[in-house]
Structure 1
C-alpha cells in the first residue's frame, strides 16, 4: 500500500493496477551507480538504426508482442521518436500534460518498442575463451521509463531519464544473433518528477553501449585532488574498487589507491586555467585513464572560493537542445556550445535541470567552465495544487529521489569543473530534498550543495534565488534582506554567499537590466553572480504548408495543452546563431574593464578575472572621425592581477599623427577613441586577436551640420498649391489638405511621416500577466490604435506647418504635434528638414512604447549604411554592446529573426543613415539629435500579427521608424520589468530629421 503524503490527502488509485512504469521504484535489475570512465577494456557501441514500432498504449504494445506482430520501421538510436514522424512533440512549462494522479499515468501512453539484432565481434572476450569477466549493457539516457530484454530474458527496468543505467547481460549474451528489445514508455511515475520546462520527447536519446568488464575490473573510482593556495601544494588520493596503482607521469608520481600524497608546486585547475594532468589507474587486466584537476571548493567568510580565490559567476542555464535532434545532442554541437560560451565571456553553466551528457562535462573540464550539476528532478506542476502531494515531501518517493541524486553524483564525481551539486529545480520543499542533501554531503563533502527552493538554506551551502529584482538583490548584497522567522536559520542564511541561479530571462528581444545586475554583482562581495535563463531557444525545425522553414514552439504540433513560445527564451537562436542578447551579455560581463577618458587622454584598465592576470591579452587603441579610422596603435598595459587597476596614457595628438593615418582625417568631424583587449595568442577556444573587451569614449562633438562657407538659400513654400494639387517645398511635394508628404527627392512616399508611439510588443512587454503587463496597458488604453487629426496646414514663408493631435479612441489624453517643414538649397543640393514639436495633453496612464515618426517609401531601397550604434540592434537598456561607428547591411540584415516575431532591429544613436537602391539612388536621413532607426518591408501591424518569421512577407514599401526615444525592454517575461530610468513617459519633446540625397 502506498503511503499518503504528510502535507495533505490525495486520492490514490487502486494499487493493484499499478504497473512497473507506474510504481515508485527507480527500477529493477540495474547495477549500483558508478563513475563514468573509459578504459582499455573492450566496448561496442550499439548506436545506429534499430527496428521500431510505436503503439498508442502499453496494452497495445503487450498485445502485439503476444501476437508476434510486425510493423517494424527503422529509427536511429539515439533519437526521440516524435522527431522522426512517430507522434508529435509537446511543450509545457509547468503544467503536466496528463491528469495529476501520482503515480498513475494515462492509458493513452505512447509506447515505443525498439529492437536491435547484433553479433559480437569475433575477438570479443568471453568465458568460452578463458577470458572471464562479464559484459554490461549501458544506457546513458532514456525517457521516461524502459524495460530491457536480451534474447527474450528480462534484464531490468529503469526510470530517471537523464541518468545512466547498467545491466549485467549474464549468461544471456550470444556470439551471434543477439536480439536486444527495449520497450520505452512516454509516461511513467518518473514523469511526475521530470516536469522541467521543456519539450516532452520520449525515446532512447543518449548512447547505448556494451562494456566488457574483465575479471577483477574497476567497479568504481573516485578522484580526490585538492589544492592549498597558501602552500601551492596539491593533495591527491584516488579511491578505487578494487585497488591498484595510480601513475601521473608529468608529476613523476606513483601511488597506491587509497594513499594520500602531497604534490608540491602543482598547477591548480580553474575555469580560467583549466590545467589537467593525465593519469592512469592500473589494476590486473585493466587500465583506466584519468584527468586530474587540482582544486578546492569552499565557503570562506561568507564567500564561495575555489583555490582561495572568490568567484564571480558569469553563467548561463543550459538545457540540452538541438533543433533537429531535441535532447540527442551530437558531440560536435556540445563542443560548439562550450566554445561559444568561452568566446562570449561566459565562465559558468548550470545544467538545468538534469545532469547533461557526460561528454559535455568532459568539455567543461578541458576548456574551463564552472559547473552546477543539477539532479534530474522537478515537480513544478504541483504548485497548481499548493504543492499537495508533492513527491519532494512524500516519504514514498524517497528511494526514487535519492537514486536520482546518487546516480548524478556517482557518475560525475571526478569532474573538476563541477563545484556544486544541485538537488533539482522548482520542487517545493520537503523531507526527501533533505535526505538527498544528507546523502550527497556524506558521499562528497568537498563540493557545495545548491537548491533554490530551500529559502531557509537549511540544507544548502549557498543562498540562491530566481528573478529577484535589482532592489532585492542589493538588499541581499548588504546582508539586509527580510529576515526569516527562525533566528538561527536567518543568521545562517545571512552568512552564506548569494547567487541568482536564474535571472535576466532571455526571451525574445532582451533581456534588459543586465548592466544594473552586473554592477550589483561587482559591488557587493556576497553577490557572486548568476545564470541567465537560458542558453538556447528550444525551437524545432519545421516547414509551413507553403514549404517555408521556421522554428516551431508549443502549439505548432496541435497539442491541446501547451505554453506557446515560452520555450524560446535563450541567448542563442535554435540554429545556434548568437542573438543580440548574447552579444549584450558578453559586453556586460567582460572580464576586463576599459574606461576611456578621451578628455584626459587616459584609459583605466581593471582586471575582473578571478584567477589570471592580463599578460595573455594585447591592447590596442584606435581613433575614429565620423566613423572612419584615422589612426591606431598598440597600448602598453601592465599584466595586472585579479582585481587590480591601472591608468594608462593614450598617445598625444602629435604621436597619433605619427602613428600613420589609415583614412582621410576630418578635422571637423565627431571624434571617438576606442580601446580593445584581444587574445595575444590563440587558445584552445579562440584564435589570436579574438576580442575579449572594449571601451569607447567621444573626444570631440559632432561635426557642424553646415559646411563652413557654403552658401545656403532657404527654399520658400508657395502660398497656394500647384495645378496638380500639391505643395512643393524643395525636394518634397505635399498634400495641401493634410500636409502629408507625397514625394521626396523623386521617391514616392507611400506613408507620409507622422508621429508614431506604438511598437510591436515584445515577449517582455507582454510578460506573464495579461492584466498587468505593459502591453496590456497599451492595449487597454488603445495606444496601438492611435488616431491622427489634422488641425491645420499653413504656409509660413519658408515653412510648411502642419498642426495635429494624436490620441487613442475613447481616451481623454493625447499628444499635440506641430510638424514644421523647411527646404534649403546648397549649391546643386537640396535638403528637406522636418522638426517635430510634441506636447502631451491630459494625463497619460501608461508609458509610451516609442516616440518618433514613421514613414514608408515606395522604392527598391535595400542597402543601408549608417553612422551610429551598431552593428546589431540596441534599445535603451540593451545598448552596451552597440559601439559608435560606420556600419552597413541590407534591409534583411536589419531584421532580428526572433522565433516569435516582435519589435526588433532598432539601431540607436544614429547620426545619419543612407538608403540606397540597386541603381545607386536613394536617400540620406540626418537626425537632430541622433535617432533610432528601424527599416522593414512590413508594417508594425503585420509584425505584431505574425506568429513566425515566415509569416512576414516583404512588400514593396520600405517602412521606416525614426525614433527620438523608446521604452526599455526589461525582462518581465519572467522577472523584473523595465527599470525606472528606461521608462518612456509622455513629456514635451522636440526633435528633427533632415532628408538629402546620399553623399
Structure 2
C-alpha cells in the first residue's frame, strides 16, 4: 500500500478522528479455501497465534511510540511475564479489576474531559515469535498477501512485526486486520503489540460491565491468494406470497482480471444441489438466482443452505473456493409491524454480555454452546448483543440453532451525558452532534455490518446503547440504510431527544412499566415497540413479568429483552484456598458500583437461577389450558405446528401422579384448538381433596439442545376432589395432659409438647427424645431485603417492620385444658411498632402429638406501611435440612413470580438457598398445601394447611437477619441451625427495575387488612 503509514504516533490516542491506521477495510467473515498447486490439498490459509505470549505492564508516560525499543525484533524480552491469548490482563493478574456502571472509572481521580484519557494509563507490551506456516508462505510467494487479525482487544493497539510498524486500531469488538506481507521474512518473526488501557475510544465504550483489557479474542494470521474473494454480500430473500426464495450476492474479487469465471452453487446441508450458475469474473461480481425452491429460515425452523463460490483461473484450474451459510428469510416492517416471512414476530429475548466468571469476555466455544442451549431450553428466541458485536462463532450458532439477533454496535457513552439522579447534560454528550466523533461511530457500525451481514439470525441493526442522541446517530442510521435497505435500525437513545425520532425505525424503551407501554400501544403508534431492556433481573427479581407478556395482544407490541443473561461475578481463589464470586469494589476499585452487575437469569457459573422457571413458562410459544372436558392449545409459533411434539397428559391426586398418557395434538401455527381428553376423574375424585389436570409439551425426538422428552411448556388446572373427611382418630389411652404453674404439656404416642407461660409459646416438641424447639418460634414481619427492595427504598419505607416481630413482647397468655386429650394456649403479642398492634398466637395440642397453630394479625387501624412478610420463624437443629412439599415448584416462588408446576417436590435447605450475588431473601414457596422437614433418616416435622388456605414456607440454613447482614455468600457462617419460616403472606419481589420501581401494589401486604396463618404440625 503506497499510502501506508510507517510511524506510530501517541497523538492518535486522544484524537477521536483517528481510529484506524493501515487497517484492512471491513469485510464479511466467509470461509475461503485456496487451491494453490504448490500447497497440495485446499487450505483455509489460517494460522492461529493463540497461546502463550510475553507481556510487560508499563505506564503510557514510560514509552515513546516513535522510538520504542520493545518493538524491535532483537529486543530481549526474557524478563517479561507470561500470558495466554486470548485472555484479559486482569484475569492474569497484571491489572486490577474495575466495575462501574454509568460513570467513567477515572471519575474523581481526575475530572473526565473528552477526548482526553487519564494520566494513569496502563500499557501492556505483548510480544511473541512465530514462523509463518509453509502453506501461508507458499501463498505469499505466489503473489498472495498475509495479514494479522486481532479479533478482540481493549482498548487500542499499536502493532509491529519485526520492528516494522504495521498499524493502529480501536473498536476491539470487530476485527482489526493489518497487511503484514512486506514486514515478514523467512524463519522466525516477532509480533509486538502495545495495548492501551485508555484511548479516546474509551469515551465510546462506557458499557455497564467490568472494565477488562488485553487481547481477549483470538489472534490469527491469514494468507490470501493473488486472486481472492475479499467480501461477500449475500441477500437470501424469502417471498411469503410465492413461498420461494431468491439469492442475490455481490462479490468483491481482488485481481479478478487474473481469473476467468466465477461459479456459484447452492446446496442444502445434506449436500444436494439446489441451484448453480457460472459467469465471467469481475472486480464486483453479481450473482442473481431467480426463484428457488427452498425452505425458509426462522428461529422455529432454522433451515440453512450453503453457498459455494469457486474462482477459476484462465487455465481452468480452481484458484479459490468461498463458502457462506445462508438462511432464506424476509424481515421487514410492514404496516408498522415487524414481520418475519410475512408474520408478526414477538421477541422473547434477553440481553447478553459475553462473560465467564474465570475468563471474562474471553469465552470459549463451549460457553457459547451452553448459552444457546439454555436459550432454547427456556424458550428464549432472541438475543441483543449488548453492547457490542460478539464473537463470530456466536452468530454461526444462532443461525444453526435458531435465535433472532439484534446486532449492536460497540457504543455506549452513558457517563458523558448523565449525572447522578438521571440528570441529562446534553452539551457534554458524546458523540452527540460533534463532527469529530462521527467518523469513528460510523466506522463502528460499518465494521459490524460488513462482518455480520450474511447471517440469517441478524434481523435488526442497533446503533449502540445509552449514548443520548444527536446528528452523529442520524449519520449512522443513514449509513446503515444505505448499506442495508432491508433490516430495520434500532436505537433507544432518541427517547431523550425526540427531534431525532427519525434515527430509529423502532420505538424502543428501557424499563418502561407495562401500563406505560400500553399507553403507547393505544395511541395509534407509527412504529413497532420493543423493550430493549426490561425485567431487570438483579438478585431475586423478575416479578410481574406476566404483565408484559399480556401486552402481546397488541399487534405492535413485539416483545422485549430481559436485562440480562448472566451474572457478572469474578471467581477468585482466596488465600485459604476457598473460592469467592467477587463483585465491584472487592478489588479495591474505586469508584465502583459494587454488586450492580449481578443481574442475570443465569448465575455466574452458568447454572440457571430460580428466575428462569418463570421466564421459561411465560416465554413458551405453546400455551396450554386443560379443563375437565379436554385441553385448549394455543400455538403461538409462526411457522411450525405442534404435530412433531408429544403431549403428556397426567392426573395428580393431591400432588401424586395417578394417571398418565401420551398423545399427539396437531395445532397449526397461529391457531388455537380444543381437544377432548377422557380424564379418569371419577376413578380418582374420591381419593383426593384436589385433582390436578396437567398437559405438557415435550420433544418427541432429541434436538441438539435437549434430549427426547424434554418439557417446553405445561398447563395445569385444579379441580375439587371428593375425598371423605377422615374420622377423628381415637386418642391413645396413655395420653396425659398436664397444666402446671409455669408450663403446660401434652404427652402421648411417644411425643411431648410443652407450652410456657413465661416464654410466650411452645418451648419443647419432642419425638422419642428428639427436640424440635431450640427456642420459642418468633413472629416475623421482615425479610432480608432483595436488590429490588433496596433500590426502591422498601427498607426505608418499612423500617418499622424490621424489628416489629423480632422484638414483639408477649403481653398476655391463657392456657387451658380443653378436655382429657387437648390443651389450648393463647398468647397475645404486642408488635414493636408505634401502633403496638396486637397479634394472637394460638396453639392447640392433643395427645396424638399433633399441634394446631394459628397466628392472627387483626389489621392496623392507623396508617402504616405495607408488611414485607408475616408469620413465624422456627429454629430447628441443623440436621433437619431436607424439604418435601406439595405446592408450585420445584424452584422458589413469590406472589408475583409463581408460574410454576403444582406437584410434590423434593429439595433441601442448601439447594433451596439461591446464591444471589448479594445474599438476600430466597427459598420461599407460595401456595404450599403441606411440607415435610426431615433429617436424612426421615425423622422430622410435617406442616399442613388446617383449612382451605395455603401458606408460604421456606427452609434455609440462615435466618433472615443473617442474610441481611452478609455482603457475600462466603460471609455466611457454616450452618449450625435450620430456619423454617411459615408465613401467612410475603410481598412480591418486583422486577421492573432495581433502582426505583416498587413491588406492584397488588403484591403488597396491606397493614390495614387482617392476616391469618392456620396450619397443623405433627412430628414424623
TM-score by length of 1: 0.91
Q: CA deviation at 1:175?
A: 2.4
Q: Deviations over 1:269-300 (max 9, x none)?
A: 11111111112111242111111211111111
Distance in structure 2 (CA, Å) of the matches to 1:702 and 1:910 = 20
Match of 2:923 in 1: 905
SS in 2 for 1:328: coil
Distance 1:71 1:813, change over 3 A: farther
Partner Cα distance (2:527, 2:747) in 1: 70
State how far apart, in whole Å, the 2-side matches of 1:47 and 1:919 are: 53
Q: CA deviation at 1:666?
A: 7.0
Q: Is the 8 A contact 2:206 2:414 kept in 1?
A: yes
Matched, 1:840 2:859: yes
Conserved in 1, the CA contact under 8 Å of 2:804 and 2:831?
no
SS in 2 for 1:19: helix
From 436, 441, 445, give the equivalent of 2:481.
441
Partner in structure 2 of residue 582 of structure 1: 612
2:592 equivalent to 1:571: no
How far the C-alpha of 1:310 sits from its partner, in A, is: 0.7
> Is the Cα contact below 8 Å between 1:225 and 1:234 reproduced in 2?
yes
Matched, 1:313 2:321: no
* In the alignment, structure 1 residue 886 sits paired with structure 2 residue 904: yes
Pair 1:539–1:979, CA change in 2 (3 A)? same
Structure 1 residue 919, shift from structure 2 partner:
4.0
| Corresponding residue of 2:950 | 930
Tell me if structure 2 keeps the 8 A contact 1:467–1:974: no
Query: What SS is found at the alignment partner of 1:365?
Result: helix
Structure 2 counterparts to residues 578-977 of structure 1, below 5 A: 578-597=608-627, 600-637=628-665, 639-653=666-680, 667-701=687-721, 707-708=726-727, 710-711=729-730, 718-721=738-741, 727-728=745-746, 731-746=752-767, 747-767=771-791, 773-779=793-799, 782=802, 786-798=806-818, 799-808=823-832, 811-825=833-847, 829-858=848-877, 860-880=879-899, 882-928=900-946, 929-971=949-991, 972-974=993-995, 976-977=997-998
Structure 2 distance, partners of 1:123, 1:213, is 11
Q: How does 1:15-30 map to 2 (within 5 A)?
A: 19-24=11-16, 25-30=18-23
User: Helix, strand or coil: the match of 2:53?
Assistant: strand
Superposed CA deviations along residues 634-671 of structure 1, whole A, max 9, x for unmatched, are 2342x2222211111221438x86xxxxxx99714432
Aligned-residue offset at 1:70: 5.3
Q: Structure 2 matches for 1:109-148, cutoff 5 A?
A: 109-126=121-138, 129=141, 131-148=142-159
**1:510 to 2:549 alignment:** no
Question: Could you say which residue in structure 2 is the equivalent of 1:83?
Answer: 91
Instruction: Please tell me whether the aligned partners of residues 738 and 802 of structure 1 are also in contact (alpha carbons under 8 angstroms).
Output: no
Please name the residue that 1:51 is paired with. 54
CA separation of 1:965 and 1:245: change in aligned 2, threshold 3 A: same
- Unaligned 5+ segments in structure 1 are 1-15, 481-493, 658-663
Write the deviation string for residues 884-924 of structure 1: whole angstroms up to 9, x where unpaired.
21111222122111121100011222211112224432111
CA contact (8 A) 2:747 2:849 kept: no
> What's the counterpart of residue 38 of structure 2?
none
* Change over 3 Å in CA distance of 1:526–1:817 after alignment to 2: same
Name the CA shift for 1:765/1:301 in 2 (closer, same or farther; >3 Å).
same
Deviation at 1:170, TM superposition (A): 2.8
Change (3 A) 1:454 1:540: same
* Greater shift in the superposed pair: 786-795 or 39-48: 786-795
Cα separation, 2, equivalents of 1:555 and 1:608: 45
Three-state SS of the structure 2 residue aligned to 1:837 is strand
* 1:73 counterpart = 2:76: no
Whether contact under 8 Å (2:801, 2:867) holds in the other structure is: no
Counterparts of residues 190-589 of structure 1 (less than 5 Å): 190-242=201-253, 244-249=262-267, 250-256=273-279, 257-284=285-312, 285-382=319-416, 383-384=418-419, 386-393=425-432, 394-455=434-495, 456=498, 457-479=501-523, 494-520=525-551, 522-589=552-619
Secondary structure class of the residue paired with 1:282: strand
Cα 1:984/1:261, change in 2 over 3 Å: same
- Deviations 1:596-635, CA, capped at 9 Å, x for gaps: 12xx332111001122111121112111112211111123
Aligned pair in 2 of structure 1 residues 570, 407: CA closer, same or farther (>3 Å)? Answer: same
| Shift in Å, 1:790 | 0.9
Equivalents in 2 of 1:538, 1:737: separation in Å?
Answer: 50
Q: In terms of mean alpha carbon deviation, does 936-945 or 791-800 score higher?
A: 791-800
Separation (CA, whole Å) in 1 of partners of 2:200 and 2:409 = 17
Q: Contact 2:780–2:805 at 8 Å: present in 1 too?
A: no
Cα deviations by residue, 1:913-940 (Å, 9 ceiling, x for unpaired): 1122244321111123321111122221
> Does the C-alpha gap of structure 1 residues 726 and 543 become closer, same or farther in structure 2, counting only changes over 3 Å?
farther
Deviation at 1:127, TM superposition (A): 7.1
Residue pair 1:793, 1:800 contacting (<8 A) in 2 also: no
**Does the Cα contact within 8 Å between 1:718 and 1:795 map onto a contact in 2?**
no
Aligned partners of 2:646, 2:435: CA distance in 1, in Å?
58
Shift of 1:429: 0.4
For residues 945 and 344 of structure 2, the distance between their equivalents in structure 1, rounded to whole angstroms, comes to 47
Q: Give the C-alpha shift of residue 856 in structure 1.
A: 0.8
CA contact (8 A) 2:54 2:77 kept: no
| C-alpha distance in 2 between matches for 1:627 and 1:847 | 33
Report the alpha carbon displacement of residue 726 of structure 1 after superposing the two structures with TM. Answer: 5.6
**Stretch deviating more after TM superposition (445-454 or 951-960):** 951-960
- SS of 2:399's partner is helix
Q: Which residue of 2 aligns with 1:184?
A: 195
Question: What is the CA distance between 1:442 and its match in structure 2?
Answer: 0.5
TM-score by length of 2: 0.89
Asked if the contact 2:686–2:723 (Cα under 8 Å) also holds between the matched residues in 1, the reply is: no
**Structure 2 unaligned spans of 5+:** 1-7, 35-44, 257-261, 268-272, 280-284, 313-318
Aligned-partner Cα distance in 1 for 2:28–2:996: 38
Which has the larger displacement, 937-946 or 18-27?
Answer: 18-27
Flag the 1:703–1:766 CA change in 2: closer, same or farther, 3 A. farther
Cα pair distance change 1:668/1:463, threshold 3 Å? closer
Which whole-Å CA distance do the structure 1 matches of 2:806 and 2:843 have between them? 23
For the Cα contact (< 8 Å) 2:840–2:856, is it kept in 1?
yes
How far, CA to CA, are the matches of 2:84 and 2:685 in structure 1? 62
Retained in 2: the 8 A contact 1:742–1:748?
no
How far did residue 117 of structure 1 move? 0.5
C-alpha contact (below 8 Å) 1:814/1:842 kept by paired residues: no
Aligned CA RMSD, in angstroms, stands at: 2.3
Q: Per the alignment, do residues 17 and 840 of structure 1 end up closer, same or farther by CA in structure 2, a change over 3 Å counting?
A: farther
- In structure 2, C-alpha distance between the alignment counterparts of 1:450 and 1:516, rounded to whole Å: 24
Q: 2:120 corresponds to which residue?
A: 108
How far residue 787 of structure 1 moved from its aligned partner, in angstroms, is: 2.5
Deviations 1:834-857 (A, max 9, x none): 112211334243211111111112
Contact kept in structure 2, 1:465 and 1:501, CA below 8 Å: yes
Does the CA contact (< 8 Å) of 1:754 and 1:853 recur in 2?
yes
Quick check: 73-82 or 548-557, which moved more? 548-557
Task: Write out per-residue CA displacement over residues 462-513 of structure 1, whole angstroms, 9 at most, x where no aligned residue.
Answer: 1111111111111122236xxxxxxxxxxxxx21110011100011112111
Deviations 1:505-527 (A, max 9, x none): 0111121111111011x211110
Moved more, 572-581 or 983-992: 983-992
Q: 1:956 to 1:311 in 2, by over 3 A?
A: same
- Aligned 8 A contact 2:60 2:121 in 1: yes
